[in-house]
Amino acid sequence: MKENMPINNNIITSPSKTEPPRKKTKRDRFLTGILIFGGLFFIFSLIQLNLDYSRLISGTSKLFSFVGHMMPPDFSTWEKVIGAGLESLQIAIVGTSIGVVLALFLSFLAAENLSPHRTISWMIKGIAAFVRAIPALIWVLIFIVAVGMGPFPGILALAFNSLGMLVKVFAQSIEEIDDGVLEAMRSTGASWMQVIFQGVIPTVLTAYMSWSIFRLEIDFRYATILGMVGAGGIGWELTSAMRMYRLEEASFIILVIFLMVFTVEVTGNQLKKMIQRI
Amino acid sequence: MEILEIQNLTKIYKDGTTALRDISFNVKKGEFAIIIGSSGAGKSTILRSINRLVQPTSGSILFQNKEITTSSKGELRKIRREMGMIFQGFHLIKRVSVLKNVLHGRLGYMNSFKGAIGAFSKEDEEAAWSLLERVGLTDQAYKRAGELSGGQQQRVAIARALAQKPALILADEPIASLDPTTSETIMNYLYQICHEDGITCIVNLHQVEVAKRYATRILGVQQGTIIFDGSATELSDSEIQHIYQKKLVV
Amino acid sequence: MKPSINHIQKRKKIQTILIIGLFALFLSWSLIDTGFNVPKLLNGIGETFRFIFIDMFPPNLSSLKGFMGPALDTVYMSFVAMVISAISAFFLSFIAAYNLTPHPTLQYAVRGLASFLQSIPALVWVLVLVAAYGLGLIAGTIALTLSGTGLLTRSFAEILEEIDMGPVEAVQSTGASWIQVIGQAVVPQVLPGMVGWSLYKFDLNIREAAVIGMVGGGGIGFAMQRSLSLFQYKDAFMAILLIFTLIIGIEYLTNKVRMRLL
Ligand SMILES: Nc1ncnc2c1ncn2[C@@H]1O[C@H](COP(=O)(O)OP(=O)(O)O)[C@@H](O)[C@H]1O
Ligand SMILES: [Mg+2]
C-alpha cells in the first residue's frame, strides 16, 4: 500500500446518526395498492360473472372441431368476397371523407383561439365528445333503424364517429399554433376568413392529413365488421356464411379481413412517413 | 499473493473490432490499480472481460485461482458475486428505493426465487443500512435512486458493490460524469474503503492527475495493448504522451 | 449530381398533387359505387334526427334497473379479459422483445402470433367463439382476451425494448441469476408502464364489450340490441345512455390512475 494517503478527509461527510423513519416509498405504495386492488377485483368479477366452466371445457373441444370444419378455406366465391371487401373499403373512404370535411369546418369554430365565441367552442366540443364516446357499432344500429340496411348506415356511422374524434384533434392542432402568429396576422387587419386561409390552414395541414389517415385506418377496421350487424361490406358476408354454416367460406372471409386490416396498417404507416416528409 | 492473473487475453467483437490484443498482467491482493488510456483503447473491455460481461475471444483469466473464461453458469455466479462493479453511469434501478438498490448486491448469495421477488433477509437489510451509513446516505434510504444527485447515486453504487462483500472492485470510469469536487469525494470513498477493508481495486480513468494521486500501480493501455505498467512516479510526461498518442491503424 | 432545392420542392409538389389526385379518384369511385350523394346524406340525417328525437326520446328511465345487471357484466367481462391477457402478455413479451428474447426465431414467432391475434377484430373472434361456446359471456370474455393478448404483447415488448440495459447489466454483474435480474432489474423498470397499458386496454375493452354483445357476446350490448329488435326504442336509448356513462366513467377513472402511475 501507498504510504502518503492523498485523502482529504473532511470531504467525507460523517453519516447522520439519527435513524430515519423506515417506511415505503410513496409511489411504490400506490402501485402495490393498484395491483392488490386489481387482483381482488379480478376475483370478484370472476365470481360475479358466474361462468359455466363445464361449458368452457366442452366448448373448447367443440371449438377445435369447428375450426377443423373451417379448414381448408374455400376460395371459390372469391369474386363475391373481394367485391364485399371493396365495398368495405368504399364505406370507409366515404365515411371518413365526410367526417374530415365536416370536422374541418367545425374545428375552426371549436378551437378556443379561433372560435367566435367561447360558448360555441364548448358546445361543439361537448357534442363531439358525446358522439365520440358512443361506439361506431351502436351508431350503425341506430342508422340501420333510421335509414335501412346496406352500405348507407355504415357510411353515416363512420362519418359521425370520425367527426367526433377529428373535431377534437383538429381543434387541438389549431390551439397548438403559436399565439404570436395569429396576433401578427390579425394586426395586419386580416379578416377571420383570411386568418384561417392564410395562417391556420397552411400551419395545420400536415397534422390534419396525418390525423385523417390515422382515422381512415380506424374506419377501415370498423368497416370490415360493421356489416356483421347489417351495414354492408365484408362483415355481412361473414355473418351470412356463418349463419348458413358455410364454414370453409367463412374462414376464407376471415383470412381476407385479416389481410385487409394488416395491409391497411402497413400502408397507413408508410403514408404517414411520406406526409411527414412533405 | 496474486488475486487476478490474466494471460494472453484477446477480445475481437462480432463486428471485427479487435479491442484487446494478447494482454497479460497480474494483480496482487490489496493493490489499487488504475488503468489509463484514451477512449476506445480497450479499458472497459478489460474490466468487462474480468466480470465476463463480455466473453473473451481467447486467453485465460484466473480470479483467486479459478478460471473465469470457461466457468459454468453456476460457477460464474459465485465468481461474480465476489467482484463488485461500479459504472460511469451509476446504473442503479432509478424507480426503486436506495435501500433496495444496495440490497441488490446480495442477490448472488440468495436463493434464486427469493431474490427474484425481493425477499431479502433481516441480516442483509441490516447490513445494507450500515453500508448506507458508511457512505453517508441513511437519510436517503427510502428515496427513489433516480431522485439523488450524481455523486449520491455513485455512493449508492459503491454501497451496492460493498454489499457483495467483494474481494475485488472493478470501477469503469466512476467519475467521468461527475464534477471535480464530487469526483474527489467519490475517489476518496473508493480509496478509503478499499484500503480499510483490504479490497483489491481496479479503476479505469482517463484523468492522469487523478490516477497519479491514488494509484498504487498504473497500467497504460493503447489500442488494446498494455504499454505501461509501473508506479505513479515512474509515469513520466513522455510516457503519458505515448499512451495518449493516437497510433495510425496499420 | 446533387438535386437543387428548387428541384426538391418541385418533386414534393408533384408528390402532394399525386397523393391528392389519387385520393380524389378513390373517393369518386367509392361515391359512385355506393350510390352516395348529398341529398341522400341530408335526407338520412333528417331521418336519423326524427328517429332519435321522436322515436327514441325521451329515454325510458324505468328500464334502467333491468339494464344494470348486463352493464355490470360488461365491466366484469372487460376486467377479467384484461387481467388474463395482461398476464399472458407479460410472459410472451419477454420472448417478443429483441433485447431479452431467448432466441430470435421464437421472437418472430411470438410477434407474428401477437399481430395475428390483434389484427382479427374482436367481433370476428366472437362470431367464431359463439359457435363453440354458445351465446353469452364466455364467448365475449375469450374474444376480448385473445385480441387483448395480441395488443398487450406487442406494447409490453416495446416497453421492454426501451428499458435501460445499464442497470440490468449492473445487477447481472453482482452474480444475480437470470430470474433475479428479471425480477429485480427489469420488472421494476417496466411495471408502471405495463400497468398503464393494461388499464388502457381495460378502457378499450369496455367499448368493445358494449358492441360484442350485439353478435352474441352478452352484456349491455346484447340487452340494447334486444330492445331495438323489439322496437322498444325508448328502452334502447336508456341503454345507450348507460353505455355512454360507463365508457366515460371508466375512461376518466383509468386516466386518473395512469396519470398518477407515470
Ligand atoms: N459491443 C461492442 N461491439 C463492437 N465493438 C465494441 C463494442 N464495445 C467496444 N467496442 C470497440 O472496442 C474498442 C475498445 O472499446 P472500450 O473497451 O469500450 O474502450 P475504452 O473503455 O477504453 O473507451 C473500441 O474500438 C470500441 O469501439
Ligand atoms: Mg470505456
- Walk me through the domains of chain A, giving residue ranges and CATH numbers: 79-277 (1.10.3720.10)
DSSP, collapsed to helix, strand or coil, labels residue C140 as helix
Averaged pLDDT for residues C27-50:
83
pLDDT at site B246: 57
Query: Are B65 and B119 spatial neighbours (Cβ–Cβ below 8 Å)?
Result: no
- Tally of domains in chain B: 2
For residue A192 the three cell numbers come to 377571420
What is the C-alpha to C-alpha distance for residues C121 and A222, in angstroms, rounded to an integer? 9
Q: Residue A6 pLDDT more than 70?
A: no
How far apart, in Å, are the Cα atoms of B247 and each of A163, B16, B229, C171? 66, 19, 19, 36
Q: How many other CB atoms are found less than 10 A from the CB of residue B165?
A: 16
Write down which chains contact chain B via at least 3 CB pairs under 8 A: A, C
Contacts of C185 in chain B (CB under 8 A): 93, 104
Residues constituting chain C: 262
Q: Do C237 and C256 belong to one domain?
A: yes
Which residue of A146, A224, A277 is in closest CB contact with C121?
A: A224
How far apart, in Å, are the Cα atoms of C154 and each of A38, C44, C120? 22, 40, 15
How far apart, in Å, are the Cα atoms of B61 and each of A197, B4, C133? 72, 7, 62
Grid-cell match 391497411, residue found: A264
Q: Do C126 and C93 belong to one domain?
A: yes
Q: Is A50 exposed, middle or buried (0-12, 13-18, 19+ CB in 10 A)?
A: exposed
Q: Do B246 and B175 belong to one domain?
A: yes
What is the C-alpha to C-alpha distance for residues C48 and B66, in angstroms, rounded to an integer? 82
Averaged pLDDT for residues A166-182:
86
Q: How confident is the model at residue A225 (pLDDT cuts 50, 70, 90)?
A: confident
Query: Domain limits at C11?
Result: 5-56
Q: Do C154 and C123 belong to one domain?
A: yes
Averaged pLDDT for residues C165-191:
93
Q: Ligand 2 centre from B39 Cα, in Å?
A: 6
Closest CA in chain B for residue A8: B188
Q: Ligand 2 centre from B202 Cα, in Å?
A: 13
pLDDT at site A22: 54
Which residue of C68, C76, C111 is the best one to mutate when testing the A interface, meaning the one whose CB has the most A CBs within 10 A?
A: C76
* Cα angle A117-A122-A125, degrees, rounded to a multiple of 5: 125
Domain-terminating residue out of C33, C56, C79: C56
Q: Do B27 and B13 belong to one domain?
A: yes
Chain mean pLDDT for chain C = 87
Closest CA in chain C for residue A205: C16
What is the C-alpha to C-alpha distance for residues B160 and B164, in angstroms, rounded to an integer? 7
Q: Positive or negative, the Cα torsion across C194, C195, C200, C205?
A: positive
Q: Do C167 and C192 belong to one domain?
A: yes
Closest to C36 in 3D by CA, of A147, B153, A180, B178 = A147
Q: Do B158 and B175 belong to one domain?
A: no
Q: Which helix (H) or strand (E) holds C259?
A: helix C233-261
Q: Residue C228 pLDDT more than 50?
A: yes
Q: What is the DSSP string of C36-69?
A: --HHHHHHHHHHHHHIIIIIIPSP-GGGHHHHHH
Write down which chains contact chain C via at least 3 CB pairs under 8 A: A, B
What residues contact residue A133 under an 8 Å CB cut-off, 6+ apart?
Answer: A164, C244, C247, C248, C251
DSSP state of C212: H
Which residue of B80, B117, B118 is in closest CB contact with C174?
A: B80
Q: Which helix (H) or strand (E) holds A205?
A: helix A201-226
What is the C-alpha to C-alpha distance for residues A227 and A122, in angstroms, rounded to an integer? 34
B45 touching C (Cβ < 8 Å) = no
CATH number of the structural domain spanning residue B56: 3.40.50.300
Averaged pLDDT for residues C58-75:
86
Domain-terminating residue out of B138, B163, B188: B163
Q: Residue A5 pLDDT more than 50?
A: no
* Cα angle A21-A24-A27, degrees, rounded to a multiple of 5: 135
C62 touching B (Cβ < 8 Å) = no
The Cα of B206 is separated from the nearest Cα of chain C by a number of Å equal to 21
Which residue of C76, C208, C260 is in closest CB contact with A45?
A: C76
Q: Helices then strands (H, E): number in chain A?
A: 11, 0
Closest CA in chain A for residue C239: A138
Q: Do C88 and C48 belong to one domain?
A: no
Query: What is the per-residue pLDDT across A85-131, written as a single tens digit (0 to 9) for each?
Result: 888 888 999 999 999 999 999 998 888 887 888 889 999 999 998 88
What is the C-alpha to C-alpha distance for residues C151 and C145, in angstroms, rounded to an integer? 10
Domain-terminating residue out of C16, C31, C56: C56
Query: What is the per-residue pLDDT across B118-169, written as a single tens digit (0 to 9) for each?
Result: 899 999 999 999 999 999 999 999 999 999 999 999 999 999 999 999 999 9
How far apart, in Å, are the Cα atoms of A238 and each of A141, A252, C36, C211? 18, 9, 24, 17
List, in sequence order, every residue forming a beta bridge with B144; answer none if it has no partner. B97
Q: Do C190 and C218 belong to one domain?
A: yes
Chain mean pLDDT for chain A = 82
Q: How confident is the model at residue B79 (pLDDT cuts 50, 70, 90)?
A: very high
pLDDT at site C2: 56
How far apart, in Å, are the Cα atoms of A271 and each of A201, A214, C19, C40? 20, 10, 9, 32
What is the C-alpha to C-alpha distance for residues A135 and A139, in angstroms, rounded to an integer? 7
Averaged pLDDT for residues A14-42:
71
Is B225 inside any structural domain?
A: yes
Please identify among residues 205-244 of chain A the ones whose CB lies closer than 8 Å to any CB of chain C. 221, 224-225, 228-229, 235, 238-239, 242
Query: What is the per-residue pLDDT across C190-210, written as a single tens digit (0 to 9) for each?
Result: 999 999 999 999 999 998 887
ipTM associated with this complex: 0.90
Query: What is the per-residue pLDDT across A44-82, written as a single tens digit (0 to 9) for each?
Result: 999 888 777 888 888 888 888 888 887 888 888 888 888
Is B181 inside any structural domain?
A: yes
Q: How confident is the model at residue C176 (pLDDT cuts 50, 70, 90)?
A: very high
Q: Do C66 and C49 belong to one domain?
A: no
Query: Are A137 and A226 spatial neighbours (Cβ–Cβ below 8 Å)?
Result: yes
Which percentage of chain B shows pLDDT scores above 90?
A: 84
What is the C-alpha to C-alpha distance for residues A250 and A234, in angstroms, rounded to an integer? 11
What residues contact residue C42 under an 8 Å CB cut-off, 6+ apart?
Answer: none
Closest CA in chain B for residue C170: B91
Is B88 inside any structural domain?
A: no
pTM of the model as a whole: 0.82
Ligand 1 in reach of B222 Cβ (< 6 A): no
Q: Residue C174 pLDDT more than 60?
A: yes
- Tally of domains in chain C: 2
Higher pLDDT, A186 or C187: C187
Q: Do B170 and B249 belong to one domain?
A: yes
User: Is C174 close to B112, i.e. CB distance below 8 A?
Assistant: no
Q: Do B72 and B31 belong to one domain?
A: yes
Q: What is the DSSP string of chain B?
A: -EEEEEEEEEEE-TTS-EEEEEEEEEEETT-EEEEE--TTSSHHHHHHHHTTSS--SEEEEEETTEESTT--HHHHHHHHTTEEEE-TT----TTSBHHHHHHGGGGGGS-HHHHHTT---HHHHHHHHHHHHHTT-GGGTTSBGGGS-HHHHHHHHHHHHHHT--SEEEEESTTTTS-HHHHHHHHHHHHHHHHHHT-EEEEEES-HHHHHHH-SEEEEEETTEEEEEE-TTT--HHHHHHHHSPPPP-
Averaged pLDDT for residues C219-227:
86
pLDDT at site C4: 65
Query: Domain limits at B202?
Result: 1-82+166-250
Q: How confident is the model at residue C262 (pLDDT cuts 50, 70, 90)?
A: confident
Q: Do C157 and C29 belong to one domain?
A: no
Is B87 inside any structural domain?
A: no
Q: Ligand 2 centre from B2 Cα, in Å?
A: 25
Grid-cell match 322498444, residue found: C232
The amino acid occupying position B8 is: N
Q: Do B156 and B201 belong to one domain?
A: no
Is B72 inside any structural domain?
A: yes
Is B130 inside any structural domain?
A: yes
DSSP, collapsed to helix, strand or coil, labels residue C30 as helix
User: Is A62 close to C121, i.e. CB distance below 8 A?
Assistant: no
pLDDT at site C3: 57
Closest to C189 in 3D by CA, of B104, B87, B121 = B104
Closest to A21 in 3D by CA, of C128, B35, C201, B143 = B143
Q: How many other CB atoms are found less than 10 A from the CB of residue C229?
A: 11
Q: Do B108 and B224 belong to one domain?
A: no
Closest CA in chain C for residue A265: C119
pLDDT at site A234: 87
Chain mean pLDDT for chain B = 92
Averaged pLDDT for residues C229-251:
88
CATH number of the structural domain spanning residue C162: 1.10.3720.10
Is B48 inside any structural domain?
A: yes
pLDDT at site A278: 59
pLDDT at site A8: 43
Q: Ligand 1 centre from B20 Cα, in Å?
A: 9
Which percentage of chain C shows pLDDT scores above 90?
A: 37
What residues contact residue C235 under an 8 Å CB cut-off, 6+ apart?
Answer: C59, C60, C63, C227
Contacts of C169 in chain B (CB under 8 A): 53, 91
pLDDT at site A11: 42
Query: What is the per-residue pLDDT across A266-278, written as a single tens digit (0 to 9) for each?
Result: 887 787 777 766 5
Q: Do B172 and B247 belong to one domain?
A: yes
Contacts of B214 in chain A (CB under 8 A): 6
Q: Do B171 and B55 belong to one domain?
A: yes
Q: Ligand 2 centre from B242 Cα, in Å?
A: 19
What is the C-alpha to C-alpha distance for residues C118 and C116, in angstroms, rounded to an integer? 5
C135 touching A (Cβ < 8 Å) = no
Ligand 1 in reach of B151 Cβ (< 6 A): no
The Cα of A26 is separated from the nearest Cα of chain B by a number of Å equal to 9
Q: Do B65 and B138 belong to one domain?
A: no
For residue B53, the Cα-to-chain-centroid distance in whole angstroms is 12
Which residue of B97, B133, B216 is in closest CB contact with A1?
A: B216
Is B11 inside any structural domain?
A: yes
For residue B177 the three cell numbers come to 460524469
Averaged pLDDT for residues B63-91:
93
Q: How confident is the model at residue A13 (pLDDT cuts 50, 70, 90)?
A: very low
